[in-house]
Structure 1
Amino acid sequence: MSELVRLLGTVDVGPLPDGVLLTQGRRALRVRGPRPWLTEAVAGLRPGVPRPAEGSALGRLVAELSEQGWITTEAPVVAPGLPHERQIGYLELFGPQPARMQRRLDTARVAVVGAGGIGAPVAQQLVASGVRRLDLVDPDRVETHNLNRQHLYVLEDVGTPKVTAAARRLAALAPDAEVAGIRRRVTTPRCLDVLPARPDVLVVAADAPEGITGICWEWATAAGVPLAVAAVGLDTGYWGPLLDPALGHCWWCFDAARQERLAPEEQHLEATGQTPTPYSFGPSNAAVAALLAHDVVRWLAAGTAPTLGARGHLRFDTGETAFFRGRQDRRCPDTHTTVRR
Structure 2
Amino acid sequence: MRRYGKNPDEDDVRVRPNRKGNRPRTNIRPKHEDASEGFVVTVDRGRITCLLDDRIVVAMKARELGRKSVVVGDRVALVGDLSGDKDTLARIVRVEKRASVLRRTADDDDPYERVIVANADQLAIVTALADPEPRPRLIDRCLVAAYDAGLEPLLILTKSDLAGPEKLLETYSTFGLSHVVTNRDELENGDAAKQVRERLEGRVTVFVGHSGVGKTTLVNSLVAKGRRRATGRVNAVTGRGRHTTTSARAIPLPGDEDTSPAGDAGGGWVIDTPGIRSFGLNHIDPSRVIHAFPDLEPGTEDCPRACSHDEPDCALDDWVAAGHAEPARLYSLRRLLAARERREGD
Work out whether the TM-score is over 0.5: no
TM-score, scaled to structure 1: 0.30
Specify which structure has the higher proportion of helix. 1
Answer with 1 or 2: which has the greater Rg: 2
